[in-house]
Amino acid sequence: MLSIKYKGQGNPIRLTEDKQSYFTGNELIIGIGKKSELNRRKWILIARQVIALAKQNKLKAIALDAKDFDLDTEALVVSIEMAAYQFDVYKSEKEPTLETVVLLNADQKSAARGQIIGDEVNACRSLANTPPGLMTPSLLAEAAQEAAKGTKVRVKVLDRDDMKILKMGAVLGVAQGSSEEPKFIVMEYNGTGPASRKASQDNKNDGPIVLVGKGVTFDSGGLNLKPDEHIYEMHMDMSGSAAVIHAIIAAAKLGVKQNIVALVPAVENMPSGSSYRPGDVLTSMSGATIEVLNTDAEGRVILADALHYAKQYKPKLVVDVATLTGAADVAVGHFASAIFSKDEKLLAHVQQLGEESGDYVWPLPLWDEYEAEIKGTFGDWANIGKSRRSGGAITAAMFLYQFIKNPSTSSGQVTPWLHIDMAPRMTAVEGEHLAKGAAGAPVRLLIRLLDDF
């Protein structure tokens, strides 16, 4: 872990308006171009570039002046932490790492917050990067328990028998082809004080924010087995769960004044003699049936039960995070997660928070017209759209919507809901100055949302 100090020795960093960057043997000169042409997005990249160059030059300690960066201290430190991260647990020979950053003229309180957030983003990346044999549903549940140690987050893990009692036929259906036991992880954090008790007397919606994360620890596609170029990296199909686990932990460490729940349906999607099959009809916890047309569209199936489970909390907001569709990646490319909601104000707000946090998002439609796409023939809802390739991210979102839209309160109110398809942001892309592998999206955005909602 990076050590951030507020005084001491390190190779000085100097930003210049030139284009070139080089190391003089003492000073690291970073060419950032014309300052007047920079914006927040670019400053985040510059902060990371500093660290990437320090690593390239095998520097152990650097010293930089927070005032040189047109970035608040929190964002500066988060960016530094993210760029310093490397995943080399399974390498015999480790790359040299940057150990110390001396941060001058920094607001120390913001820096400490930044470090908590950066550490949780990186912990999320490590969970996602862990090989699939070492990150099974059981091990994911253990990791959640381990992460919660010493915090005010309580963790409960439901096993197959618990899920049978709850009639979670969707999660159990996807899990049945794997020899790994499915788990349903429930994390709860109560961050409200006396003030909010007053709010509930005032009849304000005081329910928690519920985060739901897709926890497919390996997505082979099941009997609709993925071809080799698509199966690669499918150990990261639990990235949504890693994000919600570390977002709730970060919120607890930051003392966010909010009640928060994180739910993770965790399964492995495998082909075997006991797998669920195309043609199977599963009865979900809500009672609605799911006609399985493709076993590779498994994420939406497990999330159906998790979203239904979320409603019992009478939440003021439900946010699910999932590496749900390759189609989201086709639609928006690698630089944003696709977001969906019926609430346009919420979408605009989340987009703004995305800009501030660095986890960029972009909305796609969630119109009722798309519902016809997923009407089942022999079950209530089909798990893929009739036009298959067209609007795949939208039909997946529309499928999820069926399981959250039921009135959750006696007054008939619909649960406010946001769906984040983070498949496009599962891994870091070149030029982002981040280590290869998981990008840690959208932990920063979730923390903002929890802090702010």
Q: Which two tokens stand for residue 327?
A: 């189609």
Active site includes 113? no
Q: Indicate the residue among 137 and 299 with the shorter CB distance to ligand BES.
A: 299
Q: Which residue is nearest to ligand BES (CB)?
A: 326
Does the footprint of ligand BES cover residue 111 (CB under 6 A)? no
Distance CA 50, CA 64 (A): 9
Q: Which of 28, 147, 327, 336 binds ligand BES (CB under 6 A)?
A: 327
Question: Which phi and psi (to 5°) does residue 91 adopt?
Answer: -100, 135
Q: Which of 81, 296, 320, 432 binds ligand BES (CB under 6 A)?
A: 296
Distance CA 277, CA 353 (A): 41
Does the footprint of ligand BES cover residue 292 (CB under 6 A)? no
- Write each residue from 339 to 378 as x if it is in contact with ligand BES (CB under 6 A), else as -, in one continuous string: ----------------------------------------
What are the start-end ranges of the H helices in 316-442? 326-332, 344-357, 392-404
Annotated catalytic residue: which of 40, 42, 152, 226?
Answer: 226
Does the footprint of Zn ion cover residue 421 (CB under 5 A)? no
**How far from 401 is each of 137, 305, 340, 404, CA to CA, in Å?**
25, 12, 10, 5
Which residue has 């650097």 as its token pair? 62
Which residue has 């009135």 as its token pair? 407
Kindly indicate which of the ranges 40-48, 60-68, 84-92, 212-220 contains the residues binding Zn ion, using the contact rule CB under 5 A.
212-220
Helix (H, G, I), strand (E, B) or coil at 304: helix
Q: Indicate the residue among 54 and 327 with the shorter CB distance to ligand BES.
A: 327
Does the footprint of Zn ion cover residue 359 (CB under 5 A)? no
Does the footprint of Zn ion cover residue 265 (CB under 5 A)? no
Does the footprint of Zn ion cover residue 299 (CB under 5 A)? yes
What are the start-end ranges of the H helices in 33-107? 40-56, 73-84
Active site includes 226? yes
Does the footprint of ligand BES cover residue 338 (CB under 6 A)? no
Q: Indicate the residue among 126 and 323 with the shorter CB distance to Zn ion.
A: 323
Asked whether the beta carbons of 258 and 264 are under 8 A apart, the reply is no
Beta bridge partners, 121, equal: none
Question: Which phi and psi (to 5°) does residue 211 adopt?
Answer: -100, 140
Annotated catalytic residue: which of 55, 125, 300, 311?
Answer: 300
Does the footprint of ligand BES cover residue 303 (CB under 6 A)? no
Type of residue at 231: I
Q: Which two tokens stand for residue 207?
A: 């329910």
Does the footprint of ligand BES cover residue 423 (CB under 6 A)? yes
> At closest approach, how far in Å is the CB of 426 from ligand BES?
5
Applying CB under 5 A, the site for Zn ion has a residue count of: 6
Distance CA 75, CA 110 (A): 9
Does the footprint of ligand BES cover residue 136 (CB under 6 A)? no
Does the footprint of ligand BES cover residue 180 (CB under 6 A)? no
Q: Which of 119, 219, 280, 373 binds ligand BES (CB under 6 A)?
A: 219
Distance CA 16, CA 264 (A): 46
Distance CA 42, CA 269 (A): 39
Kindly indicate which of the ranges 275-283, 324-332, 411-419, 436-444 contains the residues binding ligand BES, using the contact rule CB under 6 A.
324-332
> At closest approach, how far in Å is the CB of 286 from Zn ion?
21
Asked whether the beta carbons of 184 and 294 are under 8 A apart, the reply is no
Answer whether the bond into residue 442 is a cis peptide, omega within 30°.
yes
Does the footprint of Zn ion cover residue 188 (CB under 5 A)? no
Residue 341 CB contacts under 8 Å (≥ 6 apart), including other chains: 347, 350, 363, 366, 416, 417, 418, 419
Does the footprint of ligand BES cover residue 320 (CB under 6 A)? no
Would you please indicate which residues are annotated as catalytic (active-site) residues?
226, 300
> Which residues make up the interface to ligand BES (CB under 6 A)?
219, 237, 294, 296-299, 323, 325-327, 384, 392, 423, 426
> Which residues make up the interface to Zn ion (CB under 5 A)?
216, 219, 237, 296, 298-299
